[in-house]
Every structure is written in structure tokens, then in C-alpha cells.
Amino acid sequence: MKIFISGASGLVGGNCQKYFLEQGAEVLGTYFSFPTENTVFFNSLNLADEKNADVKAFNPDVIVHCGALTHVDYCEDNEEESYQKTVQSTVNLLALAKECNARFVYISTDYVFDGIDGPYAEEDVFNPLGVYAEHKLVGEQAVQGSGVSSLILRITNVYGDEVRGKNFIARIIQQCKEGKELTLKLPVDQYATPVNALDVAKSMWLLLNDNKEGVYHIASTDYVNRVELALRVLKYFPEAKYELLPQFTEDLNQAAERPLLGGLLTSKFSAEYPTFLFSNVDDYVSSKV
């Protein structure tokens, strides 16, 4: 299988590239703003960019789109940039998928729901609360209306191995190892289902190999708020010095509204792959101590 990954220098894309290569796939991994080893430049906002990797020559069987603008508060104040990097990039890559006769994988989020009654199943009613969420949903709709054979994987609170170590869990682990004193002002009322990016890659590989289409929720068995999540990590570092300041979301004055009872149910995926065992936060952190 030949797989082109847009955004392979990021958390999900990087784990996909590594895992797919280990499974014997031929992978073209690309970056837009942050180069990493084994990635080449590709600008999904301008397919005619002369610096772009030659995807048509690579002739992929699958295009996996992991690139997007994910800073939800920034998106709230930069709506056009959010649209370009989340929606327009998707529309452009769908056009490329049609030219290459390739399947398409779109990474979405639980933010397409309002967080009033989560965790959510695939068929639950959408109600995005902010610009980022709205654009992720518009991206989904573009994929579904494109006529391209596609998978939409909704994920949230992703963690795992990453070159930049930007994700919440990786940052806490690194700071604890460096002996830094942490000040954690975290919402106690935002719940989600954290998932290891490697599990996202593994589940995507299964779905692609079985020629699955449609929407799947990918999540672990953990359902925690941010305070609980931090404490799950910190228990592995008993010498760590930290100040934990639980807050209610409304007191944080964030630009973008958050779904409070968010998260995702994996009933559909688990029914089709009953022997697939998702890892959890404890599995990951204990492996890093």
C-alpha cells in the first residue's frame, strides 16, 4: 500500500508514518511549517507550489490528511486562516485524491458536538460551538460530499511520542524529568477520552486494510477531566513539585467555547474489531518512567 500523509511531522501524522512503514507500506510523509526527519515539503493550501513534493508521481493508494490548525482559541480570532488550513486544505487534497484515484482519510474531533451529553457515538447530533469546531465539521461534510472513498476518524485529547513533545501528557512527563516546578491551572469540568496517537495509527491501518469507509470514533477506555488526567501522570513522579489549581471553564476566559462533557464512544469500531485492545494513559506514562 502506498500512503501519502499530509502533516507527517505532527503527533498523529508522525505516528502514522512510523507505524505504516513498520507494517511494510510505502509512505510519503510531508510537512508544511515544521520539517522532521523523513518528511518532505508539501503545501496543501497551494497544490501548484513549485516546492511541493510530487505526489502524483508517487501515485498514492491513500491520502491521509493530518494537517490542520488545532489551536482553538487562535482559530476564534483568525477565522479565515482557520478556514484555509482546515477546510480549504481538505478540499484541495480531495481534488488530488480524485486525480490519483486514492482513498482519503480525514482526522476530525469530538468538538463537532456541543459537550452537553457526551461521550458521543458516530450518529449523534452535531452542534459545534466555535470556529475550529465549525470548520472541522465543514471539512467532514466536504469529504462526505466529494464522492471519494473515505474514512473520517474522530479523535480527541491525543497524546504520545512526538518530536516536539507538544501534547499535554508529553509536556508534563518532560517537565517532571527535568525537575521543573509545574503550575497547572486546569479545568475540572472538561471531560474527554484521551487516546494514544499510536493507537490511532494502528486502528487506521486496520480500517484501511479492510477497505472500510465512513465515520469511526477512536478513543481509549479513559474518561477523565483535565485535572484527573494531570494527576494520572503525576502519580508516576512522586518527587515532582507542582501546584495544581483546578478551575471551572467559565472562569478561564478562553476565547473559544469548549464542549464540557465531550469524548467519544468506540462501540462501532470495537464491534468490528473485538480483539483490538486500546492502550491507556497509565500504559503510556509507565513506559516513560
- Per-residue pLDDT of 174-204, as tens digits, reads 999 999 999 999 999 999 999 999 999 999 9
Q: Kindly state the percentage of the chain with pLDDT values over 90.
A: 96
At residue 102, the pLDDT reads: 98
Q: With 90 as the cut, is the pLDDT of residue 26 above it?
A: yes
Give me the residue spans of the domains in the chain. 1-289
At residue 69, the pLDDT reads: 87
Q: With 90 as the cut, is the pLDDT of residue 33 above it?
A: no
Q: With 90 as the cut, is the pLDDT of residue 59 above it?
A: yes
At residue 212, the pLDDT reads: 98
At residue 68, the pLDDT reads: 83
Residue 258 neighbours by CB under 8 Å, 6+ apart: 72, 115, 129, 187, 190, 249
Q: With 90 as the cut, is the pLDDT of residue 43 above it?
A: yes
At residue 234, the pLDDT reads: 97
Computed over every residue of the chain, the mean pLDDT equals 96
Q: With 90 as the cut, is the pLDDT of residue 81 above it?
A: yes
Among 3.40.50.720, 3.40.109.10, 3.40.30.10, 3.90.1170.50, name the CATH number for the domain at 1-289.
3.40.50.720
Q: With 90 as the cut, is the pLDDT of residue 165 above it?
A: no
Distance CA 242, CA 4 (A): 42
What is the per-residue pLDDT across 237-280, written as a single tens digit (0 to 9) for each? 999 999 999 999 999 999 999 999 999 999 999 999 999 999 99
What is the per-residue pLDDT across 94-146, written as a single tens digit (0 to 9) for each? 999 999 999 999 999 999 999 999 999 999 999 999 999 999 999 999 999 99
* This prediction's pTM: 0.95
Q: With 90 as the cut, is the pLDDT of residue 164 above it?
A: no
